[in-house]
């Protein structure tokens, strides 16, 4: 039995639905934040944010971090000052920080599960 095969890949949102990280909420938030832009420009920003907010994770890591709430929502991140490019740059940094925090959190959990798997199942 392989521990690594158990860890199937999934798609995870760094900030999930409850924090405005899904497309519907993103579209509304971007439209409110940048009312002066054309709809096609809104959509470009939304798709850029969605790409930054979507990562691949093993099923275990996804499930153990999916309920983690960050102190800031997408609306909070969109409130950064500046041009759309400035806001996206700030969001990229903030999301990278959140991803690193989730990785740190999942790493110790995965190590403890791996130890139990090796001790109780694989032998």
The whole-number pLDDT of residue 97 equals 95
The whole-number pLDDT of residue 2 equals 60
Q: How many CB atoms lie within 10 A of CB 72?
A: 15
Share of the chain above pLDDT 70, in %: 93
The whole-number pLDDT of residue 7 equals 62
Note the pLDDT tens digit of each residue in 58-83: 787 788 777 778 899 999 999 999 99
Nearest to 46 by CA among 100, 88, 104, 4: 88
User: In angstroms, rounded to a whole number, what is the distance separating the alpha carbons of residues 21 and 93?
Assistant: 16
Say how many domains are in the chain.
1
- H/E segment holding residue 58: strand 54-58
Q: Which domain holds residue 112?
A: 3-120
Asked if residue 88 lies in contact with residue 48, where contact means CB atoms within 8 angstroms, the answer is yes
The whole-number pLDDT of residue 99 equals 93
Taking the model in full, what pTM does it have? 0.83
User: In angstroms, rounded to a whole number, what is the distance separating the alpha carbons of residues 27 and 17?
Assistant: 13
Asked if residue 5 lies in contact with residue 122, where contact means CB atoms within 8 angstroms, the answer is no
């Amino acid at each position: 039995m392989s521990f690594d095969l158990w860890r199937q890949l999934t798609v995870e949102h760094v900030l999930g639905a409850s924090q405005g990280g899904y497309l519907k909420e993103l579209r509304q938030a971007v439209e409110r934040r940048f009312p002066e832009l054309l709809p096609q420009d809104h959509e470009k920003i939304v798709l850029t944010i969605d790409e930054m907010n979507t990562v691949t994770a093993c099923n275990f890591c996804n499930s153990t971090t999916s309920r983690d709430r960050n102190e800031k929502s997408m609306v909070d991140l969109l409130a950064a000052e500046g041009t759309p490019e400035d806001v996206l740059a700030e969001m990229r940094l903030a999301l990278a920080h959140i991803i690193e925090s989730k990785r740190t959190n999942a790493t110790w959990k995965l190590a403890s599960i791996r130890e139990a798997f090796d001790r109780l199942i694989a032998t």
